């Protein structure tokens, strides 16, 4: 029996990176997983998340969704429940960034990042809670929300002003929901990755940036998507029932140093 046997999970931004790793881990633990993204092809290359889960014998459904649009998020949750009967876990992972500071950020960039990263998370949480309130509890819990924040929700994100602000909002959004819906038996937590090496192109994999991150991280390696997936699994499982409202750092000790 897997840790998520007979559970139904939605993972946004599931085609690549952290969302891909979380979806694959959830499926390996027995969950039926609904993948939501604008694209199927992973940035890392290779087989799609859906193909990998199906090849391993997992139960999966892939849907195209733009989390910045309420209608898409509404359809996503409605379709997941029609297919699998309920929604146990909502992972709000989809995000975008600009790599611009305050003065460089245009109004359009600001609105786009906040629309995807923060409004998209608001939509995902709201629609998930609407569904979870209609469900009978399983092992004391009606449903679980896992939001992907960032260490840059805790400290400044130099050179990426809209992104840092959006992730700070993620942390507070998580706290608000955890308190407002605790009596409804809905668990809401966040995972805050530090430097995680993914296939994301651009500045994230610049050799100088990687060297700085390695020197700044106490653990002798940088993070992998699977490290974040392990934390997201814990928060989605019955082991974390009395854990709600936390922003779980997965950063190799960066914030402790």
The rounded distance, in Å, linking the Cα atoms of 43 and 199 is 6
Q: What is the DSSP string of 188-212?
A: EEEEEE-SB--S--GGGG-HHHHHH
Per DSSP bridges, beta strands 186-193 and 143-148 are parallel
Phi (first) and psi of residue 11, to 5 degrees: -125, 120
Which distant-in-sequence residues (6+ apart) come within 8 Å of 234 by Cβ?
240, 248
Characterise 246 by phi-psi region: left (phi > 0), alpha (psi -120 to 50), beta (else).
Answer: beta
Active site residues: 163
């Amino acid at each position: 029996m897997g840790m998520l046997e007979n559970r139904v999970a939605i993972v946004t931004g599931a085609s690549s990176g952290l969302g891909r790793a979380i979806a694959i881990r959830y499926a390996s633990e027995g969950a039926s997983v609904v993948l939501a993204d604008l694209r199927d092809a992973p940035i890392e290359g290779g087989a799609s998340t859906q193909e990998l889960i199906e090849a391993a014998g997992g139960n999966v459904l892939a849907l195209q969704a733009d989390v910045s649009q309420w209608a898409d998020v509404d359809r996503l949750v409605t379709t997941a429940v029609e297919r699998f009967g309920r929604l146990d876990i909502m992972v709000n992972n989809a995000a975008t960034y600009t790599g611009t500071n305050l003065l460089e950020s245009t109004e359009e960039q600001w609105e786009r990042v906040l629309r995807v990263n923060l409004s998209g998370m608001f939509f995902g949480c709201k629609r998930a809670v609407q569904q979870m309130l209609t469900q009978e509890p399983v092992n004391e819990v009606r449903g679980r929300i896992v939001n992907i924040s960032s260490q840059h929700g805790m400290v400044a994100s130099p050179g990426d002003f809209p992104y840092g602000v959006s992730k700070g909002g993620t942390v507070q959004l998580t706290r608000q929901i955890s308190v407002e819906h605790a009596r409804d038996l809905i668990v809401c937590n966040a995972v805050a990755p530090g430097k995680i090496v993914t296939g994301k192109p651009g500045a994230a994999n610049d050799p100088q940036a990687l060297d700085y991150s390695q020197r700044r991280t106490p653990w002798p390696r940088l993070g992998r998507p699977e490290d974040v997936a392990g934390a997201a699994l814990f928060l989605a499982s019955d082991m974390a029932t009395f854990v709600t409202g936390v922003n779980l750092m997965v950063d190799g000790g960066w914030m402790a140093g």
